Structure formats: C-alpha cells, structure tokens
Amino acid sequence: MQRTLLHAKLHRVRVTQVEIDYEGSVAIDAVLLEAAGIREYERIDVFNIQNGERFSTYAISGEPASGMISVNGAAAHKASVGDLVIICAFGVYEEREVRDMKPRLIYVDDANRIVRSSHIIPMQAAG
C-alpha cells in the first residue's frame, strides 16, 4: 500500500504580492523552498488563513532571501497581499518508508524569514 503524507510545510507565510496576469503558480523565496525541501514545479496546496480559500498549484523559485510569496494567475483571486497562508507539499510513500518519514516544517517571522524548523507539529492544548 502507498500512503500520501505531508513532506513539507511553510507555516503562516505572508503573501507579498499577487499577479493575476502571470502564468499561474506561487513564487516562493528560494531560501524557503530549500529549507522546506520543496522542489521547483512541485505541486503545492495553499491554505489561506485570512479567508479560508484552499487551492493547488505548483511552486516556482523566487529571489533568494527576499521573503517573496507571490500568488499568481487565477489563484491570485484567492489571496491578497498581507494574507497569512500555509503552503504544504505531500509525497507518496511505500508502507516501509512511512515509519522513518519526517516532514520539514518551517516557521517564519512577519518578513517571511525562518525563525525555526521542526519535524513535529506541536499539539495544541484544548481550551
């Protein structure tokens, strides 16, 4: 059996631009792509925290160390500059790979600079 698991997450990155007349995709600071292990042209899912929109597209490399998160093409209708989004990439793994698979989770500050990384999503206490 194969399972689809999260392999990378950019948590609460801020959209820096939207380009409706661009040929689709999300341009992501190359430093963030590298840290997360997301490859250029890899399928990504984007979850907009501000408005609840969810969409799939592919990643392209943006200027390194720029903090760029540019939502382009038709997806630009689903985000605005300043929106916080979660960007995820998933991989398909054989059952024998699942036990050792650890996602790369990248957390950023308000300027989309990496502040920490992890392989474990912390559990939230029920309130």
Residue 107 designated active-site:
no
- Dihedral pair phi/psi, residue 67, rounded to 5°: 75, 10
> CA 108, CA 122: separation in Å to the nearest integer?
16
The set of residues, in sequence order, having a beta carbon less than 8 Å from that of 120 and lying 6+ positions away, is 102, 105
Which is nearest to 55 in space by CA: 65, 63, 42, 46?
A: 46
Residue 66 designated active-site:
no
Of the candidates 22, 58, 93, 107, the residue annotated as catalytic is 58
- Catalytic residues, which ones? 25, 58
